[in-house]
Structure 1
Amino acid sequence: MDIATRFAEALHERSGGPDDPDLLAVRLARAAAAVLPVEGVGLSVHGERDLRTPLAASSEVAATAERLQFTAGSGPCLLAAESGLPVFGTEAVLARRWPVFHDLLVTSTPLRSVLALSLRGRLEGVGGMDLYCADPDGATAVDVFAARYVAELVADHLDGAADWSVWTPTEAPAWVDTPDARRRGRLWMAVGMLTLALEVPAADALALLRGYAYAAGRTADDVAADLVERRLAPDRLRTGAGSEH
């Protein structure tokens, strides 16, 4: 059975039905994980630097890996989105090039390596697919041609969804407005709150959020949720109180 047929069958098995259009990205991530020799798959879109929005992941562990990379502020997935080329992040490469992300990944998940790919079609330059492996050298063991073909299948399905979606200046289609994307949206709300409360530029507010999260052993998304829900005062980030936890 060829990979396209296996992918189609895996996608059908994970169908959420016509009433769950927001689950399309989740189904695609899980189907990709089912046909490739990896432990997790994440899908995301990218804007300007730091404006990364996760669409979906095949598992909670894969979703956590994305949040950890965003907390670190750099990593193979961000580089692949910028360059448009596959990035092979073995554990040795992660430790050397992205030590903060490596530290977070190995202490918080069983994952040890990442193969990051960019998506083509309408999502070229903004879409990414990240493959996570438990093997420290797993990223180089994955057949990159098969992985890129699966990435094309994912992009084709997202392109098809875009054809039937209504885009307005104030509302994105349902398949973009996923639970993971909404979670990241709360982080940008938190950045806005910090900008106003601490009178700092948005880039500095994001850096404070990331630094506090790293010191606390948490993700930036989790700290942002505390800020938005008023469980954490903005001035705590300036004093570096995250190190208390």
Structure 2
Amino acid sequence: MTDVGPDRHRDILVMIDEIASSDREPINVSHVCLACRDRLTAVGVAVYLVGTVQPLEVVGPVGDEMAELQVTLGEGPVSEAVRQNQPVFVPQLANAWSSKRWPAFAPAALAAGAAAVFVIPLTLGAIALGALEICRDVDGPLSRDELADALLCADTVTTLLLSRPAAPAAEAGELSHAEPEGRWAVVHQATGMMSVQLDTDLGQAFLRLRAHAYLTGRRLSEVAADVVERRLRFTPETHEKKR
């Protein structure tokens, strides 16, 4: 069993606190992701929640690319870890096993700069909250100490998620400002607009958005930008119309 000692736990908590202090905000999931990235020399860290297909928090450009790939393609280590509620460690993406397991995701992830991926479910007893994903640009397994750090970061994220006050459900078309900035804000906004256009809920609207991105071979964020800029409109009768 990996030794997660009090000194190691204290060191990570101090790092998280220092990041939060420099940000002048209470400790949140983003701060844990930043500490996890620095501690594990990762090029991307992301947190996903059960029951959602879009990430709650993403740190690093490779993490952002990986999140978009998994959301668009509907396959990858995160969905597998959440579905099975077990860790999915892929120390080498560039092998036949990974390509066979995720034929669309694996080569695209390699092209995005990821060489290894480690996903840890966020759970407390029977409660499954989501998953923490760690991406590195060099292959190889986590060392004993690195695994201990990853588990501590996952535990800290779990504690933060459980302590969050319940948020009211967003209305159709509303953009949640608690969500990640950048491309994901555009995806959230496009999903809300499509839910109004299609007269459906946000979940179904997002599935339509993702399906269009997949079928046209485009990035999800690119299609979302077209929707937000009103270059692309979806209707229940004619599916989508280019303007």
Look up the match of 1:94: 98
What is the percent sequence identity of the aligned residues? 22
Mapping for residues 218-237 of structure 1, pairs under 5 Å: 218=219, 220-234=220-234
Question: 2:21, 2:190 → 1: CA distance?
Answer: 27
The TM-score with structure 1 as length reference comes to 0.73
Look up the match of 1:73: 74
Tell me how far 1:79 sits from its aligned partner.
0.8
Q: Which structure's residues are more often strand, by fraction?
A: 2
**Residues 61-89 of structure 1: CA deviation (Å, up to 9, x unaligned):** 21221111111111101111111100122
Question: 1:83, 1:233 → 2: CA distance?
Answer: 36
Stretches of structure 2 lacking an aligned partner (at least 5 in a row): 1-5
**Residues 33-63 of structure 1: CA deviation (Å, up to 9, x unaligned):** 122243321112120xxx3231212213212
Mapping for residues 1-245 of structure 1, pairs under 5 Å: 2-15=7-20, 20=25, 24-47=28-51, 51-89=52-90, 90-91=92-93, 92=95, 93-107=97-111, 109-121=112-124, 124-135=127-138, 137-138=139-140, 140-143=141-144, 144-160=147-163, 162=164, 165=165, 167-170=167-170, 177-180=178-181, 182-189=185-192, 191-192=194-195, 195=198, 205-206=208-209, 208-212=211-215, 215-216=217-218, 218=219, 220-234=220-234
Kept in 1, the 8 Å contact 2:117–2:136? The answer is: yes
Question: 2:156, 2:210 → 1: CA distance?
Answer: 36
Kept in 1, the 8 Å contact 2:186–2:224? The answer is: no
Instruction: Rate the CA distance shift 1:176–1:9 in 2: closer, same or farther, 3 A.
Output: farther
Question: 2:61, 2:126 → 1: CA distance?
Answer: 24
Question: 2:198, 2:108 → 1: CA distance?
Answer: 26
Question: 1:95, 1:26 → 2: CA distance?
Answer: 31
What secondary structure is seen at the aligned counterpart in 2 of 1:99?
A: coil
Over the aligned positions, Cα root-mean-square deviation in angstroms equals 3.6
Stretches of structure 1 lacking an aligned partner (at least 5 in a row): none
The TM-score with structure 2 as length reference comes to 0.73
Q: Which structure's residues are more often helix, by fraction?
A: 1
What secondary structure is seen at the aligned counterpart in 2 of 1:57?
A: strand
Instruction: Kindly provide the amino acid, as one letter, of the partner of residue 94 in structure 1.
Output: S
